[in-house]
Amino acid sequence: MLSALAGDRARVADLEARILDLEHSLAALRLEKWAAQERLDSYKYPVLTLPNELVSEIFIYFLPIYPVCPPLTGILSPICLTHICRKWRDIGLATPALWRAMSLSGNHNTFDWLEMWLGRSGCCPLSIRMDEWEDGDIPLVSELIAVVLLHRARLEHLQIRLFGPLPAIETRLPLLSHLDLEFDNFPNGPIGITFHEDDVPLLRTVTLDVIASRNVVLPWAQLTSLTLRQVDIDSCVPILRKATNLVYCQLDLEYDDEESHQCPDIILPKLQTLCCNDEDYSGPTSTYLYAFVVPALRSLHVAERFLRPDRISSLSSFISKSGCKLQDVRITGRRIVREETYRKAFPLIQNFSFDGAYVGNEGWGD
């Protein structure tokens, strides 16, 4: 018994000595850890030493160029910049320009996001996009637009593409410079939207589809850029004859078999670029292009079938009537006239380009 107790005493003494050694080692490790942490804490990551103003500017360049709208959520949203660290979150929330462009499409929390973004955008001009064609149905469109119009004084760019009718937005929009309206159908009748010059004094760029073009009244004379999509020529003419200050005009034409075959002169003295695109157009066209009187025109983009029946003669007559000095001509779509034929017929035009294949006389019947 005594020998066993003596053995235990020796064992305890040995364990005490080993514990003391381990405690010394642990203390040394804790000291080494503390020193390493001190070095880490004293290090400043270069990106975190940048002035807040510079970081804010970098954040703005991270987004699509205004007025293009980033998504509300995801890695391409300004929201993701606020999830990196507290400092970046504070900078992001204090940068109104990050929140000035917003797409109100395809998000079930749209109301919450909209109010949050509008609040963060401060006093910045706004770019608003609503696109059911690309992003699917948008619930409560009228209510969303009502929220946007609470900030009407800041609304600068507005793009609305809906399956149904547009809710009433007839109000003064003093900063609006760009308007894009496209609709699919109108179960409740025509839109009947009217904006006077005093309502939209800065409006210069407009895009309309055929339904919008027939139901929206704008101060056409103040526009400098106009795009009309999926329209027939009869819908275009009344608008174009009033839009006398256009510099850029794009027409995406479709044929209506009830449209008239004679077109009055369309005089656009300041027009520099005219684009006539082919939306499966199969009607008579040469008289329509000939109706344009555009003495300042420098660039013409036109589907070759718009030059029927005699492509070279039609283009020559168009140039001669307007007295314009074209510098750039782009012939689009399938062609029955070779590239070299155009260049030989119009040696003074500096740049001829073609984006369709040469198909010869078998391309289509005239």
In-domain check, residue 312: yes
Structure tokens, 288: 């329509």
Show the domain range for 342.
224-361
Give the chain's domain count: 1
CB 268 within 8 A of CB 294: yes
Beta-strand pair 225-231/266-267: unpaired
In-domain check, residue 251: yes
d(CA 254, CA 259): 11
pLDDT at 278 over 90: no
pLDDT average, residue stretch 323-340: 94
Only one residue has tokens 């027009």, namely 271
pLDDT score for 238: 94
Cis omega (within 30 of 0) for bond into 64: no
Distance of CA 306 to the CA centre of its chain: 29
Q: 72, 126, 124, 125: which is closest to 95 by C-alpha?
A: 124
Q: 179, 234, 193: which is closest to 210 by C-alpha?
A: 234
pLDDT average, residue stretch 307-311: 87
The one-letter amino acid at 149: L
pLDDT at 102 over 60: yes
In-domain check, residue 219: no
pTM: 0.83
pLDDT at 221 over 80: yes
Residues 6+ apart with CB under 8 A from 174: 153, 200, 201, 202
In-domain check, residue 94: no
In-domain check, residue 241: yes
In-domain check, residue 119: no
In-domain check, residue 217: no
pLDDT score for 170: 72
In-domain check, residue 284: yes
